[in-house]
């Protein structure tokens, strides 16, 4: 009887790496399926949170991202190269993210663009209909200026706010073109 137990334990110990490997392979397949379901929503929430919490992220920067399984693709425009590398670093640290593709563009340094940024900020957030947005930690209307061209990114509460922001940006002296990519916040069905 003792020989049978020893033999059973020896056989089990020899087979367990094979069985364990098969179980781990099956677990990886199940994990990949879960990432495509509910895990992607969690990753999206965490990526959004981590990007917004970066210390130098502000109204003149814009982040967008796409989650495809365990790969996160970062896009957008920033004024500081360190913000680009910081974004990649914090997203890489999120559980479930295995690969980060960093396509964030660092905007060129330009005193004229800086002047246009400040003038656009004053014109947009100084308007009485839009100044309530300026009270937030990171205002939702992002002003991206590249080579004298203004692009508005973000989310506003109404179509009229979107149009007012566009008109205010068009009034900025020295801007060549204004592109309005603002989105109107979707309200729940009531």
Write the pLDDT tens digit of every residue in 13-68.
444 444 344 444 333 443 444 455 577 889 999 999 999 999 999 999 999 999 99
Please state which architecture CATH assigns to domain 39-107: 2-Layer Sandwich (3.30)
CA dihedral sign, ordered 87, 88, 93, 99? positive
Write the pLDDT tens digit of every residue in 137-166.
889 999 999 999 999 999 999 999 999 999
Give yes or no on whether 39-107 and 111-184 have one common fold: yes
The confidence score (pLDDT) of residue 38 equals 74
Domain boundaries, the chain: 39-107, 111-184
Name the H helices within 38-145: 40-52, 81-92, 111-125
Cβ atoms of 46 and 94 closer than 8 Å: yes
For the cut 60, the answer to whether the pLDDT of residue 129 exceeds it is yes
Residues in the chain: 190
Tell me 43's DSSP state: H
The confidence score (pLDDT) of residue 4 equals 43
The class (CATH top level) of 111-184 is alpha beta
Average pLDDT over residues 104-124: 97
The confidence score (pLDDT) of residue 39 equals 73
Burial of 75 (0-12, 13-18, 19+ CB in 10 A): middle
């Amino acid at each position: 009887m003792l020989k049978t137990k020893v033999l059973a334990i020896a056989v089990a110990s020899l087979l367990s790496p094979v069985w364990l490997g098969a179980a781990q392979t099956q677990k990886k397949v199940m994990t990949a399926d879960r990432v495509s379901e509910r895990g992607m929503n969690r990753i999206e929430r965490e990526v959004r949170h981590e990007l917004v919490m970066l210390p130098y992220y502000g109204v003149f920067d814009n982040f967008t991202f796409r989650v495809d399984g365990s790969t996160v693709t970062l896009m957008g425009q920033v004024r500081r190269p360190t913000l680009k590398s910081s974004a990649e670093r914090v997203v890489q640290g999120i559980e479930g993210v295995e690969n980060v593709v960093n396509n964030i563009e660092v905007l060129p340094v330009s005193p004229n663009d800086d002047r246009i940024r400040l003038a656009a900020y004053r014109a947009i957030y100084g308007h009485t209909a839009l100044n309530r947005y300026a009270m937030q930690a990171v205002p939702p209307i992002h002003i991206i200026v590249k080579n004298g061209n203004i692009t508005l990114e973000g989310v506003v509460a109404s179509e009229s706010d979107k149009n007012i922001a566009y008109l205010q940006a068009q009034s900025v002296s020295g801007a060549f073109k204004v592109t309005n990519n603002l989105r109107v916040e979707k309200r729940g069905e009531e």
